[in-house]
Structure 1
Amino acid sequence: MGEHRRWVILCIGIAAQIASVSALFGVPFVLPELRAAYGLTIAQAGTLAGLPSLGLLATLLGWGVVIDRYGERFTMAASLLLTALALLLLGAVDGPWGAGAVLTLVGAAGGPVNAASGRLVLAWFSARQRGLAMGIRQAAQPLGIGASAALMPLAAEHWGFVAAMLLPAALAVAMVPPVLLYTGAPGADPPSRAPSGGVGSSPASPADSAADAPGAGTAPRPAASPYRHAAIWRVHGVSMLLGVPQFTVMTYALVYLVTEHGWSAPTAGAVIAATQVPGALSRLLLGLWSDRLGSRLRPVRIVAVVSGAALLGLTVSSAVLPWAAVPLLLACLVLSMSHNGLTFTAVAETAGLAWAGRAMAAQNSLQAVSTTVTPLLMGVVITALDGLDAVFAVAAAFCAAAVAAVPRDRAGAAPPP
């Protein structure tokens, strides 16, 4: 029963995160209608698209304390309901300032679903399955973005910006009953299988192997703060650096296809949606690879190198190989999203179950710094250098910085199979 239940809970966590992701990151796919509704430039609309990340940044650490204290079920249900209510407020505000305030509120409400569902994975899956399970769970982000890219431009084209934003609100409401019914059902307490949380400790130690066994019911051991050590901060830093190219490509891909290549917004949205399937698959496969390799961080370094090279190719493709621009853009969309599951798992394993809610909330908070600052930074780049090609070059520089920042494999490494 426990084996069956853990996969059911994983599926519920995925669906809940898809709802949250659609609300938080669906705005870039309705930028043309957002611009038309409020008379905005591309840079101004991109800034509004980053405001949910500002809300994330302001509240995620607090949500992490709530997760560790009150559990995943309460936190996820509350977040989904508050997200839906915030999205409904878009119909009651006028002007870009009001819309910006509501989008910030959406981010403040929607953040903890990612950390809470990640904590469920940490609690229910052993270290030898955790890379795969977290990769599957992290696939919810590209799946949610793909659903948004496919559906929201169509809704926005027919009914406008506000109506399109009601789609993630409806999905969030629909996910509340499954979260309440299954993630906290009586007798469903997960086995404790977390490492002690010491930075550099391996989950494969004898004591942890006993706690790792299916059905183990021992309480998590008290753990000192992992933030007294540098390794977990470096993993956070890598996530922040790689978040810049990820959010850059996601924010400007549709606008790039429309303005630079003459595509219609629905067509561009459908193609971007199609890239989310290989993007989700890449997270799953990289998680499985990390389980077999015994390292979460070596694959992250490789992904950062390849992503940076693809972004540089995209930068020069318009002048050198115009026919390659669109394939390179699609490759960048896939590559830029593939690292998340690995860094998220590395942070969770380094922190241990006792600190997992706070550590994963901190991970999301620091990523929110990237997603908040990225549209502002790239708006300046577009204005100063007059073109979208320049933003891809800047994003490649962040990939290079991430390669240098990836710590050695001892911290956050998976145990060998």
Structure 2
Amino acid sequence: MAVVSQVASVGALFGVPFVLPELREAYGLSTAQAGTLAGLPALGLLMTLFGWGVVIDRYGERFTMASSLALTAACLCLLGTADGVIGAGAVLVCVGASGGPVNAAGGRLVMTWFHERQRGLAMGIRQMAQPMGIGGAAAVMPLVAERWGFVAAMTLPATLAVVMVPLVLVFARPPRGAAGAGGAADDRREAPRSQADSAAAPAAHSPYRHAAIWRVHGVSMLLGVPQASLMTYSLVYLVDQHGWSAPAAGAAIAAVQVPGALNRMFLGVLSDRLGSRLRPVRVIAVLAATTLVLLTLSAAVAPAASVPLLLICLLLAMSHNGLTFTAAAETAGMAWAGRAMAAQNSLQAVSNTLTPVLMGLVITWFGIDAVYAAAAAFSTAAAAVVSADIRRRRGTKPTARV
């Protein structure tokens, strides 16, 4: 239920880049301006997600997910009545404000059902929802937009959200023995509890008084820049630079989401085996930085390699989310897990909001190929931060998860 609900939410939040050509045409925008508009749902996320986290911890996952899906569908329906680009932008902000908590609430629901030694796999499967939702949006929305326009394409995630509301109300329940509306599961079959699980008891102090969780959030924000860059501009790159049709470009991006989803599950299992969420993140960051540099150089050196490299970059860019999401929740402890996961999404929304604007300026000044060089710099910074964090955790808490 958490996976399917997230698929419905993802199309609303991240589907706009896949109809960017029609968005440009509908409102007479440049690529940079349309990219900025595509980042507005992330601005809505940023404005409301921490508040949604409090709602999750206080009223539970089922209420929050159902409310979010219903509000998202209602906001998407307003696009047909929006007056001009300003009206459309305001609606897209509201879509982001409404749709954000599904990811955090679904993640918290999964956290209550699984022990720490199983969470990497469970959250990996849970986080498959994002590439699945993005893949579905990339495959279908360009086809609808090309035939009926931008607004018609955005009714697809609205319809799926409406379908999911009653299903969430019936099936999205915490496990028997969970403590309160947002409490952690009392699974007496598992023993002994780890440090991360022992935090399921009410926390005496906020985890945000300590630097560890801020470092996890920081890594996620840094890796969010290449992810948002690629998701916002990949389709338009294939259309403008390589002469692809929008549906063909969408189909290629959709195809990458299948191995991307499986990769999240594999990395979750690997993190369980390693006893570390962050070590695989470091490898991903290094590989992403290297591949993005190669993609930047390919336009001048080996143009035929550009499209394969772009698809590899897309695969790597979507790989870290499940690991950093789980690391944030475990670092915070279950009593703060809803707020921590909402904060994680909020801070990622900073990246998702600012990246289209930043990269729009890069495109205006240096061209679209320079976007990948800038994204490589952020991946390199993320690798450096996570390496320092791993060393610090090993030095201070040798038995803790890193």
Q: TM-score range by the shorter chain?
A: over 0.9
Question: Quick one: which of 220, 229, 247 aligns to 2:210?
Answer: 229
* Distance (whole Å) between structure 2 residues aligned to residue 32 and residue 353 of structure 1: 43
Mapped pair 1:192 → 2:184 = yes
The letter of the residue matching 2:320 is H
CA shift in 2, pair 1:168/1:192, >3 Å: same
Which deviates more from structure 2 when the two are superposed, residues 404-413 or residues 69-78? 404-413
The letter of the residue matching 2:275 is G
Mapped pair 1:394 → 2:374 = yes
Deviation of 1:122 (Å): 1.2
Deviation of 1:219 (Å): 7.4
Mapped pair 1:111 → 2:127 = no
Runs of at least 5 residues in structure 2 that lack an aligned partner in the other structure = none
CA shift in 2, pair 1:35/1:229, >3 Å: same
Deviation of 1:208 (Å): 4.3
In the alignment, which residue of structure 2 is the partner of 1:199? none
In the alignment, which residue of structure 1 is the partner of 2:262? 281
TM-score by length of 2: 0.93
* Distance (whole Å) between structure 1 residues aligned to residue 172 and residue 236 of structure 2: 39
In the alignment, which residue of structure 1 is the partner of 2:315? 334
1:327-383 deviations in Å (ceiling 9; x for gaps): 000000000000000000000001111100100000000000000000000011111
* Distance (whole Å) between structure 2 residues aligned to residue 284 and residue 256 of structure 1: 29
1:211-237 deviations in Å (ceiling 9; x for gaps): 78xxxxx97343421111111100100
Question: Quick one: which of 245, 269, 277 aligns to 2:250?
Answer: 269
* Distance (whole Å) between structure 1 residues aligned to residue 47 and residue 398 of structure 2: 30
The within-5 A match list for 1:8-407 is 12-184=1-173, 187=176, 189=178, 192=184, 206-208=192-194, 220-385=201-366, 387-406=367-386, 407=389
* Distance (whole Å) between structure 2 residues aligned to residue 360 and residue 345 of structure 1: 8
Partner secondary structure for residue 248 of structure 1: helix
CA shift in 2, pair 1:414/1:113, >3 Å: farther
* Distance (whole Å) between structure 1 residues aligned to residue 243 and residue 382 of structure 2: 33
In the alignment, which residue of structure 2 is the partner of 1:5? none
In the alignment, which residue of structure 2 is the partner of 1:408? 390
Any conservation in 1 of the 2:197–2:334 contact (CA below 8 Å)? no
Deviation of 1:312 (Å): 0.5
Number of residue equivalences: 391
Any conservation in 2 of the 1:127–1:414 contact (CA below 8 Å)? no
The letter of the residue matching 1:29 is F
Partner secondary structure for residue 184 of structure 1: coil
Deviation of 1:185 (Å): 7.7
CA shift in 2, pair 1:210/1:21, >3 Å: closer
Deviation of 1:182 (Å): 1.2
CA shift in 2, pair 1:231/1:174, >3 Å: same
Deviation of 1:184 (Å): 2.9
Runs of at least 5 residues in structure 1 that lack an aligned partner in the other structure = 1-11, 196-203, 213-217
* Distance (whole Å) between structure 1 residues aligned to residue 123 and residue 208 of structure 2: 22
Deviation of 1:207 (Å): 4.9
Q: Percent identity?
A: 69
